[in-house]
Amino acid sequence: MAERELTYAQAIYEATAQEMERDPSVFVFGLGVDDPIGLYGTTLDLHKRFGPERNFDTPLAEDAMTGVAVGAAFAGLRPIHVHQRMDFLMLCMNQLVNVAAKASYTFAGAVKAPIVVRGVIGRSWGQGPQHSQSLHSMFMHVPGLKVVAPTTPHDAKGCLIAAIRDDNPVIFMEHRMLYNILGIVPERVYEVPFGKARVLASGDDITIVAISHMVVEALRAKAHLEAEGIYAEVIDPVSLAPLDIETIAGSAERTGRLLVVDNDWTGCGASAEIIAAVTERLQDGRVPRVARLGFAPAPCPTTKPLENLFYPTGRTIATKAHAMVRGGGSDWVPHAAEAAEIAEFRGPF
Amino acid sequence: MAERELTYAQAIYEATAQEMERDPSVFVFGLGVDDPIGLYGTTLDLHKRFGPERNFDTPLAEDAMTGVAVGAAFAGLRPIHVHQRMDFLMLCMNQLVNVAAKASYTFAGAVKAPIVVRGVIGRSWGQGPQHSQSLHSMFMHVPGLKVVAPTTPHDAKGCLIAAIRDDNPVIFMEHRMLYNILGIVPERVYEVPFGKARVLASGDDITIVAISHMVVEALRAKAHLEAEGIYAEVIDPVSLAPLDIETIAGSAERTGRLLVVDNDWTGCGASAEIIAAVTERLQDGRVPRVARLGFAPAPCPTTKPLENLFYPTGRTIATKAHAMVRGGGSDWVPHAAEAAEIAEFRGPF
Amino acid sequence: MGSRSNTSRQHRIDAAASAADGQRQPPVGIAQPGAQADSGSSEHAVRLYRAMRRIRRVEEQIERVYPTDKIKSPVHLSTGQEAASVGVCDALRPDDVVFATYRGHAAYLAKGGNLRAMIAELYGKADGCARGKAGSMHLIDVAAGFMGTSAIVGTTIPQAVGHAFAMKYKRADRVTVAFFGDGATEEGTFHESMNFAALKRLPILFVCENNLYAIHSHVRDRAVEPDLSRRAASYRMPARRIEDGDVLAINAAAKDAVEAIRRGEGPQFIEVMTYRYCRHVGPGGDTVLGYRTQSEIDQWKARDPIAQIGESLPIPTRTMLDAEIEIEIADAFEFAERSPFPGGDELVADVFHG
Amino acid sequence: MGSRSNTSRQHRIDAAASAADGQRQPPVGIAQPGAQADSGSSEHAVRLYRAMRRIRRVEEQIERVYPTDKIKSPVHLSTGQEAASVGVCDALRPDDVVFATYRGHAAYLAKGGNLRAMIAELYGKADGCARGKAGSMHLIDVAAGFMGTSAIVGTTIPQAVGHAFAMKYKRADRVTVAFFGDGATEEGTFHESMNFAALKRLPILFVCENNLYAIHSHVRDRAVEPDLSRRAASYRMPARRIEDGDVLAINAAAKDAVEAIRRGEGPQFIEVMTYRYCRHVGPGGDTVLGYRTQSEIDQWKARDPIAQIGESLPIPTRTMLDAEIEIEIADAFEFAERSPFPGGDELVADVFHG
Ligand SMILES: Cc1ncc(C[n+]2csc(CCOP(=O)(O)OP(=O)(O)O)c2C)c(N)n1
Ligand SMILES: Cc1ncc(C[n+]2csc(CCOP(=O)(O)OP(=O)(O)O)c2C)c(N)n1
Ligand SMILES: [Mg+2]
Ligand SMILES: [Mg+2]
């Protein structure tokens, strides 16, 4: 039982179904959730199981549908609003940033807005500039919003359950390249609490904090580095707001080096926040060397050769970490094939 | 002539009128620009001078009006789209982030989107949670956008002219508490180039970087600190994207202390970016002590006593700087009256 | 009738007093809308007059106090527009729910929002309906069925739709009302909301208070089709337009609409032509700005709905009602004066719920 | 006629060849829309047939190549919907401008976009219309009057309005066209755009290609009013709906509308009922998914507009046209194959303009 494996997508489906089973106020809506694809299987046929009022498609109307989620939440429901891309959240910023984030505070707790906003991060197969963004730092910036970006199937299930039960708006980020990753997922219902980072691998030479799909790349980097005798500690923050700076700073203080790898741009990004917060916190002790890696400072190009250069990879992360540990002059580059999940992806979109 | 003084609002008006005079492709639009208030005088009666097609009111439709600006820019015009509050930009994020920012790159330079988006930052007199935000870090995060936040009338005029002439989308931020500030503004047409910070006051003990209206507060803090024999260098980045990290890092390296004060929240904010970028850059030399000040981690409250606590002030900045210079145990607090521009404000809204 | 209203006022003050103790209860009284059947046209007229007059006098008192800087906050007064809120809310049950806007004093009071908590909120005090954090633009009284208003035009429209969705989802027979201005109908979210409400046949009444202006901009400068109720046709939604601002006509239309909605016939749309007497924000008039004419203002004031319905009542009745209203208002302002400011710990309280 | 088309094809290939040298010029040819008056119904039919057939064959060739993974990018094929783009673009002048969507191959080609640059773009190559950075979802050919498309539904609608605003501002007599799908009319931005265009009487033609579906969702599950052209009434905008997808009817309606727009009569709206043969994205059909029936597909295919107009042409003419098209397409794919990938310096080039 404890050894049962699910994919990340299956874990999301299971969390949703279990919570819908438990709590009749939970419902799912968004473009395509009840179609034959069911958002990569994560919502597949939920309407058949729970009725068409609890898993339904909507018109194309991201802004108003977010307002609908907020209004339904005010009335005691727990909507899960699903978006096929994080990029589309740019259409809902007004409701998310100006309303949902501020409702509890503005009305001194008289209302709450327990909405879960699921957003898929696109990558590979020519997603291009408008279907590949993460943009989580925009949400991390705004008090009143929670932001989670689980990486493992285990955390996907536990974070989604926690998000559904949370009395606040939660942005739940799913990277499409993670959907097919397998991992042990307990069948029982459990919550992964927000604000607790996960140390995925221990090491003494450098701390690598990686976000969302970059965790997978960081683990690849770790393997490359080990061949060189460099031992990296890899930390997955899991939840970005709240952010577990204690764990990260503790590790960075110990290793003396902190490399933050984000699935996003670095400027005013999560990586900037992590480095600033760690630096502020550690200045009376051992100040670590710090560096950031993220998207190239450009919109995401469509053509594959440029897209390959756009993202950090196990290779570029390893090279950067190597230079931080062994000194800047190093021009070591590990041998590495293209990541399978990226190379093999052909859809669905 | 060189000594002529204008208010910040007048400087914006003059920049606009001079550019409209020079270039018939420049026009202004947005809610209320041609009304009897004329956005605090910044657009007052421009339609009488340049015709109703070049300064016009619109329906309430922030998203589409931004698209209109982009489309008009594609066709060779230079729109200035004015928003009564930065908060309303949350309604235009899709056009700004997903389209305008990416047009030049996506189409490999075949089009350009020279739009100026003017946004007013509200404060005081019970603006509350939805009329007081800055949110500049969201724009700084996105490659393809430029962001400027001039503080002096001189820079307001020069930056606006530079923004109008820039071939890219520029977010131009104006803090309402700056509108009545007087300063020397040359009558001639001039550009203040982006990416060059301004050292407003020199000092050896600490570097205070402050953004928008916080520059005014930082200068007050500097005066308080001088009474204690502490000399602060005060830097106004003027343009936030591009950001002049060289000047800031140079100063911080010299003083050994960097305090960044933002008119915004700190998490993933401009202050995080500045601290992260400076830290990355200086780690081979003298790593400065760093700290951030910004909004309280909450939506902005409406009632005055809480609003007063929400913002950094000359006092709280001085206290923080004092502690950084003299050590954490210090409980020194300067005597200071409430800032006049805040205490006296009664509208217009 | 006099005695009934008297008793009711007692209830109201009791409820307000309990709010002062931090227990927020819905006020009960004849200003409390709906539920009761009209036991004769005179009682109906009294109810409408009283509710409108009360709102008018509250707004006037706000205007009077405003120059003292005790209300350090923008106020978007409802003066002149009372009939829309009162006419519609009178057709509602107490457990029906209203979403409105920053120009929300009238709707808040018409739906039974606590007056003391409102004035204390305007004063930024700890006994305000949101402990001073919200101010005039964000009134709320959940117990009275009045949801928090927003200072961003249009945002409460889809929220109201979401609330109506929840009512249908829960098989509750409650009706949700979305109040909004003419300007709000230009925002895309209005259309998205109308389409979805129609598609899902939600129990919602859309009420557009068309006061001809968005700040200083006339509706004809913002739309070629000035009859905004026609926009409902795109969604096959029943719609009516009440041209003259008459409270009885508004009330009759609202009753019809609410009944149909409660029968499960889906959403309806009412456009109420109305007029704002004061400037867009703040006390007093604004003819000096020149964007509207004195004669336009005079025309609307000549058919002031409060005066009209007031004339239908016997003078003693009116005198009594007016006196009661004055007492209640004086009490609310005194309450606000006495209430303390929130403590510094409130600065970061309730950012997250629970 | 044969010789004319032959010469024209030469022009086209010349233009395409110059694009290969990095000089991006508008192609010239009889597939080039508009401008010329119809010198007889047969030439008109040839023009329409040729343009539609060319698009169809390009899409089919993309389908054929797709499984080789040379086009590493989502493709939203226009197969079945050619008549909308061709019928409308044929009514335009070369200097008129079109804004379209991620499902933009048809509109791009119908407006005269360079075929070689398009296929190279799909291949992600340096000679693509945007050097491979854009891909199928973001085609552009400014010289041909085809503006960059968007992968976010609805975004190009207000941009088209802005472009039309600029034309009016500059006193140019050019017409702007916004193509969009049925799903896009649900986005708020559509309404905001319609209202503004009507208010300012802008020279814009709105063309809704109603193919009944947004991905797998039928229009009746997204709107109670399935006649989307009725939405124009809210803005007093003249609107028509072409029910049967017939290219001649579309073309006639477009000509009428464009003439009126050019006369300064303000915006117009055309809803074209049409049908997508392939899956939402990618090659091949999708009946296996079960969201639409084979009989629905068959009904639409039975009145395929290309076949219909093709039948009206003499067989030798058609044979010749078809052959020319095949040569041009083969050339474009070969061109794309030969073109290099962009160099790494392109990664951060053009983030900012100038
Ligand atoms: C999204 C948004 N845009 C602009 C504003 C600025 N604004 C505040 S009130 C207002 C006018 C709204 O007019 P209407 O909807 O008719 O309501 P009224 O004030 O007349 O009651 C505007 C433009 C805003 N608050 N929100
Ligand atoms: C704003 C936005 N929401 C959702 C999507 C996902 N999406 C891509 S295409 C599409 C369907 C659009 O339907 P329609 O406008 O009818 O165009 P069609 O694909 O039928 O040509 C959707 C929902 C998107 N790209 N943009
Ligand atoms: Mg109005
Ligand atoms: Mg469609």
The full DSSP string for C183-203 is GGGGSHHHHHHHHHHHHTT-S
What pLDDT, on the 0 to 100 scale, is given for residue C24?
Answer: 36
Contacts of B93 in chain C (CB under 8 A): none
- pLDDT mean across residues, chain D: 90
What pLDDT, on the 0 to 100 scale, is given for residue A2?
Answer: 58
What's D273's DSSP letter? Answer: E
- Residue A96: pLDDT above 90? yes
What's B31's DSSP letter? Answer: T
Average pLDDT over residues A309-323: 97
Residues C61 and C70: their CA atoms lie apart, in Å, by: 12
Q: Would you call D25 exposed, middle or buried from its count of C-beta atoms within 10 A (0-12, 13-18, 19+)?
A: middle
Which atom of ligand 2 lies closest to the CA of D153? 26
3-class secondary-structure state, position D88: helix
Chain A residues 13-52 with CB within 8 Å of chain B: none
The HSE-up count of residue B35 (CA atoms within 13 Å, CB side) is: 25
Residue D313: closest CA among D47, D2, D33, D42:
D42
Task: Indicate the range of A60-74, B130-144, D23-37 predicted with least confidence.
Answer: D23-37
- The reply to whether B47 belongs to the active site is no
Q: Which residue's CA is the nearest one to ligand 1's atom 8? A: C153
What's D123's DSSP letter? Answer: T
- Find the DSSP H helices in B23-81: 46-50, 62-74
Which atom of ligand 2 lies closest to the CA of D155? 1
Nearest chain C alpha carbon to A112: C353
- Which one-letter amino acid corresponds to residue D132? G
Taking the centre of ligand 3 as the mean of its atom positions, its distance from the CA of residue C213, in whole angstroms, is 4
Chains touching B (3+ CB pairs < 8 Å): A, C, D
Dump pLDDT digits (tens) for B1-53: 558 999 999 999 999 999 999 999 999 999 999 999 999 999 999 999 999 99
Residues C257 and C205 sit within 8 Å (Cβ to Cβ): yes
Which atom of ligand 1 lies closest to the CA of C155? 1
pTM value is 0.95
What pLDDT, on the 0 to 100 scale, is given for residue B266?
Answer: 98
- pLDDT mean across residues, chain A: 96
What pLDDT, on the 0 to 100 scale, is given for residue A208?
Answer: 98
Average pLDDT over residues C272-291: 96
3-class secondary-structure state, position D49: helix
Helix axes D2-20, D115-122, angle to 10 degrees: 50
Residues A343 and A346: their CA atoms lie apart, in Å, by: 9
Average pLDDT over residues C4-28: 33
User: Which residues of chain D fall short of a pLDDT of 50?
Assistant: 1-39
Please state, in angstroms and as integers, the Cα–Cα distance from residue A40 to each residue in A179, B120, D110, following that order. Answer: 8, 42, 35
- The reply to whether B131 belongs to the active site is yes
- pLDDT mean across residues, chain C: 90
Taken as a whole, chain B contains a residue count of 349
Residues near A284 by Cβ (< 8 Å), separated by ≥ 6?
none
Average pLDDT over residues B139-168: 98
- Residue C28: pLDDT above 60? no
Contacts of D195 in chain C (CB under 8 A): 186, 222-224
- Residue C23: pLDDT above 90? no
Residues A43 and A82 sit within 8 Å (Cβ to Cβ): yes
Residue C161: closest CA among B237, D134, A59, B48:
A59
- Residue C159: pLDDT above 60? yes
- Residue C240: pLDDT above 60? yes
Which atom of ligand 1 lies closest to the CA of C187? 1
Residues D346 and D133 sit within 8 Å (Cβ to Cβ): yes
Query: Quick one: how far is CA B255 from the chain centroid?
Result: 25
Helix axes A8-22, A153-165, angle to 10 degrees: 30
Q: Would you call B201 exposed, middle or buried from its count of C-beta atoms within 10 A (0-12, 13-18, 19+)?
A: middle
Does C215 contact B88 at a Cβ distance shorter than 8 Å? no
Residues flanking ligand 2, CB < 6 Å: A 31, 60, 62, 84, 88, 91; D 103, 151-153, 181-184, 211, 213-215, 280
Average pLDDT over residues C117-124: 98
Does C150 contact A99 at a Cβ distance shorter than 8 Å? yes
Taking the centre of ligand 3 as the mean of its atom positions, its distance from the CA of residue C209, in whole angstroms, is 7
Taking the centre of ligand 3 as the mean of its atom positions, its distance from the CA of residue C148, in whole angstroms, is 19
- Residue of C24, C159, C186, C189 to mutate when probing chain A, most A C-beta within 10 A: C159
- Nearest CA of chain D to the CA of A265: how many Å? 13
Residues C169 and A77 sit within 8 Å (Cβ to Cβ): yes
3-class secondary-structure state, position D129: coil
| pLDDT band at residue A348 under the 50/70/90 scheme | confident
What pLDDT, on the 0 to 100 scale, is given for residue C41?
Answer: 67
- Residue of A279, A292, A293 to mutate when probing chain B, most B C-beta within 10 A: A279
Chain D residues 187-206 with CB within 8 Å of chain B: 188-189, 192-193, 195-196, 199
Q: 């004093």: which residue's tokens? A: C105
Average pLDDT over residues A12-33: 98
Does B299 contact A138 at a Cβ distance shorter than 8 Å? no
Residue of D85, D153, D217 best suited for mutating to test ligand 2, as the one with most atoms within 8 Å of CB: D153
What pLDDT, on the 0 to 100 scale, is given for residue B2?
Answer: 58
Dump pLDDT digits (tens) for A321-331: 999 999 876 68
Average pLDDT over residues C239-266: 97
Vertex C97 angle, CA C91 and C102, to 5°: 100
Task: Indicate the range of A32-36, A262-266, C23-27, C300-304 predicted with least confidence.
Answer: C23-27
What pLDDT, on the 0 to 100 scale, is given for residue D27?
Answer: 36
Residue D192: CB atoms within 10 Å: 32
Is the CB of B279 inside 8 Å of chain A's CB atoms? yes
Residue D63: CB atoms within 10 Å: 17
Handedness of CA A251, A255, A257, A262 (dihedral sign): negative
What pLDDT, on the 0 to 100 scale, is given for residue D13?
Answer: 28
Q: Cis omega before residue B242 (within 30°)?
A: yes
Does B35 contact C183 at a Cβ distance shorter than 8 Å? no
> With left for phi above 0 and alpha for psi between -120 and 50, is residue B126 left, alpha or beta?
left
Which atom of ligand 2 lies closest to the CA of A91? 1
% pLDDT > 70, chain A: 99
The HSE-up count of residue B256 (CA atoms within 13 Å, CB side) is: 8
List the structure tokens of A263. Answer: 């699935």
Residues C272 and C85: their CA atoms lie apart, in Å, by: 10
Residues C208 and C181 sit within 8 Å (Cβ to Cβ): yes
Helix axes C82-89, C41-65, angle to 10 degrees: 140
Residue D275: CB atoms within 10 Å: 22
What pLDDT, on the 0 to 100 scale, is given for residue C36?
Answer: 42
Taking the centre of ligand 4 as the mean of its atom positions, its distance from the CA of residue B144, in whole angstroms, is 31
Counting one residue from A and one from C, how many pairs have CB atoms under 8 Å apart?
A: 145
Asked whether this complex has an ipTM greater than 0.90, the answer is yes
Residues D110 and D91 sit within 8 Å (Cβ to Cβ): no
Q: What is the bridge-based pairing of β-strands D176-181 and D97-99?
A: parallel
Average pLDDT over residues B75-104: 98
Catalytic residue among B47, B81, B83, B131: B131
Residues flanking ligand 1, CB < 6 Å: B 31, 60, 62, 84, 88, 91; C 103, 151-153, 181-184, 211, 213-215, 280
What pLDDT, on the 0 to 100 scale, is given for residue C3?
Answer: 35
Contacts of B37 in chain C (CB under 8 A): 216, 289
Nearest chain A alpha carbon to B92: A91
Residue D201: closest CA among D287, D125, D278, D262:
D262
The HSE-up count of residue B47 (CA atoms within 13 Å, CB side) is: 15
Residues B75 and B119 sit within 8 Å (Cβ to Cβ): no
What pLDDT, on the 0 to 100 scale, is given for residue B3?
Answer: 86
Taking the centre of ligand 4 as the mean of its atom positions, its distance from the CA of residue D79, in whole angstroms, is 13
- Residue A204: pLDDT above 60? yes
Q: Which residue's CA is the nearest one to ligand 2's atom 17? A: D181
Taking the centre of ligand 1 as the mean of its atom positions, its distance from the CA of residue A81, in whole angstroms, is 28
Residues D271 and C155: their CA atoms lie apart, in Å, by: 30
Which atom of ligand 2 lies closest to the CA of D151? 25
- Residue C120: pLDDT above 90? yes
Residues A208 and A244: their CA atoms lie apart, in Å, by: 14
Residues A67 and A280: their CA atoms lie apart, in Å, by: 38
What pLDDT, on the 0 to 100 scale, is given for residue C39?
Answer: 44
- Residue A114: pLDDT above 90? yes
The HSE-up count of residue B96 (CA atoms within 13 Å, CB side) is: 32
**Higher-confidence position of C37 and B159:** B159
Is the CB of C157 inside 8 Å of chain A's CB atoms? yes
Dump pLDDT digits (tens) for C336-350: 999 999 999 999 999
Nearest chain C alpha carbon to B59: C222
What pLDDT, on the 0 to 100 scale, is given for residue D37?
Answer: 44
Average pLDDT over residues B256-283: 97
Residue D43: CB atoms within 10 Å: 16
Residues C208 and B113: their CA atoms lie apart, in Å, by: 36
- Find the DSSP H helices in chain C: 2-20, 41-65, 82-89, 105-110, 115-122, 156-169, 188-199, 247-262, 294-302, 305-311, 315-338
What's A97's DSSP letter? Answer: I
Which phi and psi (to 5°) does residue B236 adopt? -105, 115
Taking the centre of ligand 1 as the mean of its atom positions, its distance from the CA of residue D153, in whole angstroms, is 27
What pLDDT, on the 0 to 100 scale, is given for residue D308?
Answer: 95
Catalytic residue among B62, B174, B217, B341: B62
Residue of B39, B57, B60, B131 best suited for mutating to test ligand 1, as the one with most atoms within 8 Å of CB: B60
What pLDDT, on the 0 to 100 scale, is given for residue C94?
Answer: 98
Counting one residue from C and one from D, how many pairs have CB atoms under 8 Å apart?
A: 64
